[in-house]
């Protein structure tokens, strides 16, 4: 076990929650403060970064903070240290504490904020509420001399090609003859310069997601014996790696909206919730969007939700929900705190697999600004 560099930790984090799946324009995600070019022994995981959280990081000996809410959300026009925000940045920099933010990419990620909320509410048969990311499958068809077909198939599958659902190493081959003539300046693997050549070849076809195209091509060119391998590569009208915001699923058993509100309070550990709808109505299908889900009431309704759980519900949006017959339970924005335990445990597991010795500490600071009287 070795202490990792900050970049190694973030590489692992992004293998799970990559920046490209963020679903808000100009979401200020990634390294916000400090540097990752240093050895890390302790990481503090938090929903928000405020001065008490910075003190906690200092007191607990953390060199890196992973936060859900970006600490610098709007562009700075100055860096004064006599403002609350400036004082916070000064403290973090003086104590060499880096801050990395994973915002809407962590909302979308599998096992991210919305899955963690759906876990807490014990939703089953879970689906994505609003698709925000997908890739298209690509197909590679390559012509390989028979004796090298296995080598190429293995290399392609090692690069991640040929994965379909719970199967890997999927490919299809047909036998045929390749014909070619090497010209002056060529260094042919088979045949002579200026002579027509005919050789037994296999056509190997594999699919892969667009995002690994370069990796697959590199593996192909390394494994193929020819100087100029012949291949076709094209995009298919088949979606893959579909991800999105919010989740929708069903309760273990139907209950009244009033009982469901109690279930939310208990499951998400909040003292009270705001409710829109008839509290005697039976609910079973639940949509959830962590944080501010005002924009998604119609998605929730369209997807057939009986009740929508989200925070920061505006007065007029609540009235709109009422008019389309969608029940709402608003437990507040702070329920996103579920990410603290979720991210710490996920990262512990990823680092353990890579034999990296680093501790993930769950912040104990309560960053909920509201008190309920
Ligand atoms: Zn949030």
SS (H, E, C) the chain: CECCEHHHHHHHHHHHCCHHHCCCCCCCCEEEECCCCCECCEEEEECCCCHHHHHHHHHCCCCEEEECCCCCCCCCCCCCCCCHHHHHHHHHHHCCCEEEECCHHHHHCCCCHHHHHHHHCCCEEEEEEEEEEEEEEEEEEEEEEHHHHHHHHHHHHHCCCCCECCECCCCEEEEEEEEEEECCCCCCCCCCECCEEEEEEEEEEEEEEHHHHHHHHHHHHHHCCCCCCEEEEEEEEEEEEEEEEEEEEEEEEEEEHHHHHHHHHHHHCCCCCEEECCCCCEEEEEEEEEEECHHHHHHHHHCCCCEEEEECCCHHHHHHHHHCCCEEEECCHHHHHHHHHHHHHHHHHHHHHCCECCEEEECCCCCCCCCCC
Of the chain, the percentage scoring pLDDT greater than 70 comes to: 100
Cα 336 to averaged position of ligand 1 atoms, centre (Å): 6
Question: Taking residues 346-356, what's their average pLDDT?
Answer: 96
Cα 308 to averaged position of ligand 1 atoms, centre (Å): 17
Mean pLDDT of the chain: 97
Residue pLDDT, tens place only, 204-241: 999 999 999 999 999 999 999 999 999 999 999 999 99
Cα 307 to averaged position of ligand 1 atoms, centre (Å): 20
167 has pLDDT over 90: yes
1 has pLDDT over 90: no
Of the chain, the percentage scoring pLDDT greater than 90 comes to: 98
Question: Taking residues 237-256, what's their average pLDDT?
Answer: 97
pTM, full prediction: 0.88
Cα 313 to averaged position of ligand 1 atoms, centre (Å): 13
337 has pLDDT over 90: yes
Cα 34 to averaged position of ligand 1 atoms, centre (Å): 22
Cα 294 to averaged position of ligand 1 atoms, centre (Å): 12
Question: Taking residues 114-131, what's their average pLDDT?
Answer: 98
Cα 95 to averaged position of ligand 1 atoms, centre (Å): 26
2 has pLDDT over 90: no
């Amino acid at each position: 076990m070795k202490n990792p560099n900050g970049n190694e930790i973030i590489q692992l984090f992004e293998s799970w929650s990559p920046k490209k799946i963020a679903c808000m324009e100009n979401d200020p995600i990634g390294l916000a403060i400090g540097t990752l070019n240093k050895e890390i022994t302790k990481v503090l995981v938090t929903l928000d970064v405020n001065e008490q959280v910075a003190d906690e990081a200092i007191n607990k000996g953390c060199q890196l903070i992973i936060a859900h809410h970006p600490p610098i959300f709007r562009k700075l026009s100055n860096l004064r240290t006599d403002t609350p925000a400036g004082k916070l940045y000064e403290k973090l920099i003086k104590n060499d504490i880096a801050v990395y933010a994973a915002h809407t990419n962590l909302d979308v990620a599998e096992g991210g904020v919305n899955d963690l909320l759906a876990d807490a509410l014990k939703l089953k048969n879970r689906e994505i509420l609003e698709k925000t990311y997908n890739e298209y499958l690509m197909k590679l068809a390559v012509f390989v001399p028979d004796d090298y077909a296995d080598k190429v198939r293995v290399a392609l599958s090692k690069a991640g090609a040929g994965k379909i659902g719970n199967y890997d190493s999927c490919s299809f081959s047909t036998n045929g003859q390749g014909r070619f003539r090497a010209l002056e300046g060529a260094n042919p693997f088979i045949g002579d310069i200026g002579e027509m050549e005919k050789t037994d070849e296999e056509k190997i076809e594999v699919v892969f997601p667009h995002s690994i195209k370069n990796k697959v091509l590199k593996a192909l060119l390394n494994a193929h014996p020819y100087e100029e391998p012949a291949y076709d590569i094209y995009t298919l009208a088949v979606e893959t790696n579909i991800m999105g915001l919010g989740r929708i699923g069903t309760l273990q058993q139907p209950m009244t909206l009033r009982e469901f509100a109690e279930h939310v309070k208990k499951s998400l550990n909040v003292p009270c919730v705001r409710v829109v709808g008839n509290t005697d109505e039976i609910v079973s299908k639940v949509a959830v969007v962590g944080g501010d889900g005002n924009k998604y009431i119609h998605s929730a309704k369209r997807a057939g939700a009986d009740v929508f759980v989200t925070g920061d519900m505006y007065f007029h949006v609540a009235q709109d929900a009422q008019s389309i017959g969608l029940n709402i339970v608003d437990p507040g924005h702070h329920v996103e705190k579920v990410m603290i335990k979720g991210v710490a445990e996920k990262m512990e597991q990823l680092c353990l697999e890579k034999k990296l010795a680093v501790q993930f500490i769950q912040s104990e600071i309560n960053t909920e600004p509201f008190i309920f009287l």
